[in-house]
């Protein structure tokens, strides 16, 4: 999957130019936009202990993996048939009402990706498992519009002129339940622009499900014990980016933490946007 690549660029979608140099008019396409934020203040302690330590989770999220105290975990919330779902750590469960409250669809989002981890830089000692030693980040991914400019002068160069992160979406058959409108859409246009952009529900849900599967990983790293990884191995690469090459040792630096998480989410968003751009009539043929 291209989303696994360490770097992504809009210019990865090659334009076809019949001469040495080509310029096209700016064009608008469906895209994937995102923003990340620090949500460490939302973390809570579970009311019961795992191996003598209280697992750190989100409100409504219960982790029942009694084999390991997890020091890093991902949870992704997305929608299926209009109902919020979550894929997270092994033997975990989300309170239904809390999950629905956090539903991405209420804001026309595709998925909310959470990463929570115990930060060695915040630990008072090697056995510190307090909530204060943890960080949590949230990535909100959403379908948006982007106006792009593509040129060719020996190689393709595509840049973003403007992003429309919150277009005014309308929902077809909004008065009916999702199960009875499987072919419904989110639809929008830009002001007086007569061009209409639509995304069917199933496509949005498929992207959310892909993200949930991609970021399905948990880690247990406890000094003096064997490290345990659960789920997809791709997030373990993100964890090493966020925490540094030695995930049990404090790695101070501006490239770690939230900036590293942002970079990885950006690569995924660009990879998905490129899938939309490759369908654009702009610059793929004469």
Per-residue model confidence as pLDDT tens digits over 235-265: 667 778 888 877 778 877 778 889 989 988 9
**Is pLDDT above 60 for 89?**
yes
**Residue 284 pLDDT grade (very low, low, confident, very high; cuts 50, 70, 90):** very low
Lowest mean pLDDT among 77-81, 100-104, 135-139: 100-104
Report whether 269 contacts 160 (CB < 8 A). Answer: no
Q: Which residues pair with 80 in a beta bridge?
A: 83
- 284, part of any domain: no
Longest dimension (CA), the chain: 68
pLDDT of residue 136: 95
Cβ atoms within 10 Å, residue 233: 10
**Is pLDDT above 90 for 42?**
yes
pLDDT of residue 139: 95
Please tell me the total count of domains within the chain. Answer: 1
Tokens in use for 150? 């593509």
**Residue 234 pLDDT grade (very low, low, confident, very high; cuts 50, 70, 90):** low
pLDDT of residue 44: 92
**Is pLDDT above 90 for 159?**
yes
Helix, strand, coil share (%) of the chain residues, nearest 5: 25, 35, 40
- 11, part of any domain: yes
pLDDT of residue 235: 63
In the predicted model, what is the mean pLDDT of the chain? 82
Q: What mean pLDDT comes out for the span 128-151?
A: 92
- What percentage of residues in the chain have a pLDDT greater than 90? 25
**Residue 10 pLDDT grade (very low, low, confident, very high; cuts 50, 70, 90):** confident
Q: What mean pLDDT comes out for the span 221-246?
A: 76
- 136, part of any domain: yes
**Is pLDDT above 60 for 182?**
no
pLDDT of residue 1: 44
pLDDT of residue 195: 82
Residue of 32, 26, 28, 38 lying closest to 2 (CA atoms): 32
Residue of 210, 218, 205 lying closest to 104 (CA atoms): 205
pLDDT of residue 135: 94
Residue of 62, 110, 112 lying closest to 90 (CA atoms): 62
**Is pLDDT above 60 for 228?**
yes
Enclosing H/E stretch for 241: helix 234-243
**Three-state SS for 91?**
coil
Lowest mean pLDDT among 66-70, 110-114, 118-122, 137-141: 66-70
**Three-state SS for 113?**
strand
Q: What mean pLDDT comes out for the span 204-233?
A: 82
State the Cα–Cα distance between residues 189 and 200, nearest whole angstrom: 15
pLDDT of residue 69: 82
Please tell me the pTM assigned to this model. Answer: 0.87
- 282, part of any domain: no
**Is pLDDT above 90 for 115?**
yes
Query: Domain span at residue 271?
Result: 2-277
């Amino acid at each position: 999957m291209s989303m696994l690549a360490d770097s992504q660029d809009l210019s990865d979608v090659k334009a076809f130019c019949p001469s040495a140099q080509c310029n096209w008019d700016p064009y608008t396409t469906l895209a994937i936009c995102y923003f990340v934020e620090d949500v460490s203040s939302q973390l809570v302690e579970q009311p019961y202990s795992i191996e003598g330590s209280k697992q750190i989770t989100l409100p409504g999220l219960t982790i029942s993996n009694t084999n390991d105290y997890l020091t890093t975990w991902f949870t992704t919330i997305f929608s299926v048939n209009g109902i919020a779902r979550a894929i997270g750590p092994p033997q975990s469960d989300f309170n239904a009402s809390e999950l629905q409250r956090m539903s991405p669809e209420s804001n026309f989002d595709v998925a909310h990706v959470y990463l929570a981890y115990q930060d060695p830089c915040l630990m008072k000692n090697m056995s510190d498992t307090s909530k204060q030693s943890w960080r949590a980040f949230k990535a909100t991914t959403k379908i948006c519009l982007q106006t792009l400019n593509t040129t060719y002068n020996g190689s393709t160069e595509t840049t973003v002129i403007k992003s429309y992160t919150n277009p005014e979406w309308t929902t077809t058959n909004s008065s009916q339940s999702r199960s009875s409108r499987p072919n419904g859409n989110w639809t929008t246009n830009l002001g007086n622009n007569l061009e209409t952009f639509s995304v069917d529900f199933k496509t949005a849900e498929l992207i959310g499900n892909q993200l949930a599967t991609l970021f399905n990983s948990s880690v247990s790293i406890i000094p003096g014990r064997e490290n345990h990884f659960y789920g997809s191995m791709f997030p373990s690469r993100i964890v090493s980016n966020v925490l540094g090459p030695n995930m049990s040792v404090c790695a101070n630096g501006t490239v770690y933490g939230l900036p590293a998480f942002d970079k990885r989410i950006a690569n995924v968003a660009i990879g998905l946007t490129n899938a939309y751009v490759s369908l654009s009539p702009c610059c793929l043929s004469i």
